[in-house]
Amino acid sequence: MSLAQRRILLGVSGGIAAYKSCELVRRLRDLGAEVRVVMTEGATHFVSATTFQALSGQPVRISLWDAEAEAAMGHIELARWAERILIAPASADLIAQLAHGFANDLLTTVCLASAAPLYVAPAMNQQMWAHAAVQANVDTLRQRGVHLLGPASGDQACGDIGSGRMLEPLELREAIVASFGNAVLRGRKVVVSAGPTYEDIDPVRFIGNRSSGRMGFAVAEAAVQAGAEVTLVAGPVSLATPPGVVRRIDVRSANQMRDAVVAATAHADIYIGAAAVGDYRPAEVADHKIKKRDGAALELSLAENPDILGTLAAQTVRPFLVGFAAETHDVERYARDKLARKGLDMIAANQVGGGLGFEAADNALTLYGPDGAIELPRASKSELARQLVAKIAERYVAVRG
Ligand code: PMT
């Protein structure tokens, strides 16, 4: 079990269980994690910042308005630094603030500004925990993909018995360790492409597609969680870089994506092509905006774009190649055809449309390879990406060692 070099932001809100979070910092650091603590003002009434500072070996942040601390590591930088945010204890008030998207102190602001998975360990009186308002807020968080850890049931500091106790530090640490998977790709270099390509017609128009980049970004994040050193080549998308991605290269056209992917994969072990690369581009790009020709049709002549996966497959030394196939019908036939024709090691096929595939939060995949087909049923793109990366790693290790 290791958390070596993992960056954990521990949020501590106001509750008597804050004393257990001191132990939690020690246990996380025992496994090699870097821990930075952000306390709410309420938390400081239970445990002093000096205690957390001594245990974490890092300055503790409390206020959004601390100019000196902001100059050292601003709150956005802190939000990007974190690979996991764990809030322990999470009071009823903090849970309500998170559920309603408040950003009225440093901890809630960092939570909104971070793309890191959020783990929340509630701790409160059993009557409060059972309250409909608290349960509704917890449901909201769960639906948003926040991971709820506990609470446990038993004797409470207030003398009540029931559900609302914070999980023990070792239980919380176990959940964080599990969240990183078993680092099957540690030491491996993985390049992921994501998003659409835009092929310019003139200075104001382009040919593009509906890819949002969410699937590819989720794959990049899952590969980081599996321990890989990840380079993300992204088409034009408006997504934050997943925490832990070593390098992000933004491109626009298929040609630019090909150049970036070929350069980035020169020393890579695995390439996962989740990008929806345009197959064609206008043969000529007009220098000026093309004017409307009243009544007359406009014809565009299209030239074929390079096939990025095909280019990599043709190299004598090539990374392990995983493609995606987005199809509206005959998914299996087209996917198997691309697997063979493009010379891939594996291909993840998705049927697009009907709330899945492009733009959607969920997806469903069938993974084809020499071993046959593996179904990855409908789930959030993050969850699917974790399963997909685990399967890719299994196959990669089997054939490349
Ligand atoms: O981005 P999202 O909104 O989350 O949507 C996710 C997705 C539907 C875009 C994703 O899951 C997906 O299926 N991506 C691949 C889409 C696609 O372009 O499929 P394709 O069947 O046209 O291409 C097959 C494979 O060849 C892909 O791996 C593609 O990256 C690659 N390709 C395609 C054309 C080209 N010129 N070069 C390539 O390398």
6-51 pLDDT, tens digit each:
899 999 999 999 999 999 999 999 988 999 999 999 999 999 999 9
Is the pLDDT reported for residue 187 higher than 90?
A: no
Residue with the smallest CA separation from ligand 1 atom 16 is: 276
Instruction: For residues 155 and 223, state if they share a domain.
Output: no
Neighbours of 245 (CB within 10 A): 21
The whole-number pLDDT of residue 214 equals 95
Residue with the smallest CA separation from ligand 1 atom 17 is: 276
- Measured from the Cα of 218, ligand 1's closest atom is 4
CA 116 to ligand 1 center in whole angstroms: 25
Ligand 1 — pocket residues by CB below 6 A?
193, 195, 211-216, 254, 273-277, 279, 305, 307-309, 323-326, 338, 350, 352, 357-359
- Within a domain: 184: no
Give me the residue label for tokens 């930075």: 36
Q: What is the mean pLDDT of residues 183-189?
A: 88
The whole-number pLDDT of residue 127 equals 95
According to DSSP, residue 333 is labeled: H
- Within a domain: 291: yes
Which residues span the domain enclosing 117? 7-179
Boundary of a domain, candidates 141, 158, 179: 179
Q: What is the mean pLDDT of residues 106-134?
A: 96
Boundary of a domain, candidates 129, 144, 179: 179
pLDDT per residue as tens digits for the range 76-90: 999 999 999 999 999
The whole-number pLDDT of residue 87 equals 98
Q: What is the mean pLDDT of residues 202-206?
A: 97
Q: What is the mean pLDDT of residues 141-167?
A: 88
Instruction: For residues 62 and 198, state if they share a domain.
Output: no
Q: What is the mean pLDDT of the chain?
A: 94
The whole-number pLDDT of residue 296 equals 87
- Using pLDDT thresholds of 50, 70 and 90, give the confidence band for residue 156: confident
Instruction: For residues 209 and 65, state if they share a domain.
Output: no
Instruction: Give Cβ neighbours of residue 65 (< 8 Å, ≥ 6 apart).
Output: none
Instruction: For residues 44 and 138, state if they share a domain.
Output: yes
Instruction: For residues 167 and 291, state if they share a domain.
Output: no
Contact between 211 and 275 under an 8 Å Cβ cutoff? The reply is: yes
- Within a domain: 132: yes
Instruction: Count how many domains the chain has.
Output: 2
- Measured from the Cα of 276, ligand 1's closest atom is 18
- Within a domain: 2: no
Boundary of a domain, candidates 124, 146, 179: 179
pLDDT per residue as tens digits for the range 284-325: 999 999 998 888 899 999 999 999 999 999 999 999 999 999
Instruction: For residues 162 and 227, state if they share a domain.
Output: no
Instruction: For residues 152 and 266, state if they share a domain.
Output: no
CA 397 to ligand 1 center in whole angstroms: 24
Q: What is the mean pLDDT of residues 213-224?
A: 93
Is the pLDDT reported for residue 243 higher than 80?
A: no
- Within a domain: 355: yes
Active site residues: 158
The whole-number pLDDT of residue 1 equals 59
Residue with the smallest CA separation from ligand 1 atom 13 is: 326
Is the pLDDT reported for residue 167 higher than 90?
A: yes
Neighbours of 311 (CB within 10 A): 15
Instruction: For residues 168 and 203, state if they share a domain.
Output: no
Is the pLDDT reported for residue 73 higher than 90?
A: no
Least confident of 144-153, 205-214, 230-239, 389-398: 144-153
Instruction: For residues 130 and 195, state if they share a domain.
Output: no
Quick one: which of 83, 113, 77 has its CA closest to 98? 113
- Within a domain: 283: yes
Instruction: For residues 225 and 371, state if they share a domain.
Output: yes
Instruction: For residues 131 and 195, state if they share a domain.
Output: no
- Measured from the Cα of 338, ligand 1's closest atom is 24
Query: What's 279's domain CATH number?
Result: 3.40.50.10300
- Within a domain: 120: yes
Residue with the smallest CA separation from ligand 1 atom 14 is: 274
Question: Given ligand 1 and candidates 197, 324, 330, 346, which is best to mutate, with the most ligand atoms within 8 Å of its CB?
Answer: 324
CA 206 to ligand 1 center in whole angstroms: 18
Pairing mode, strands 189-194 and 229-234: parallel
Of 142 and 264, which is predicted with more confidence?
264
CA 238 to ligand 1 center in whole angstroms: 18
Distance between CA atoms of 113 and 70, rounded to whole angstroms?
A: 15
Query: What's 98's domain CATH number?
Result: 3.40.50.1950
- Measured from the Cα of 237, ligand 1's closest atom is 1
Instruction: For residues 210 and 67, state if they share a domain.
Output: no
CA 123 to ligand 1 center in whole angstroms: 44
Quick one: which of 190, 248, 198 has its CA closest to 219? 190
pLDDT per residue as tens digits for the range 324-380: 999 999 999 999 999 999 999 999 999 998 778 898 888 999 999 987 899 999 888
- Within a domain: 234: yes
The whole-number pLDDT of residue 293 equals 82
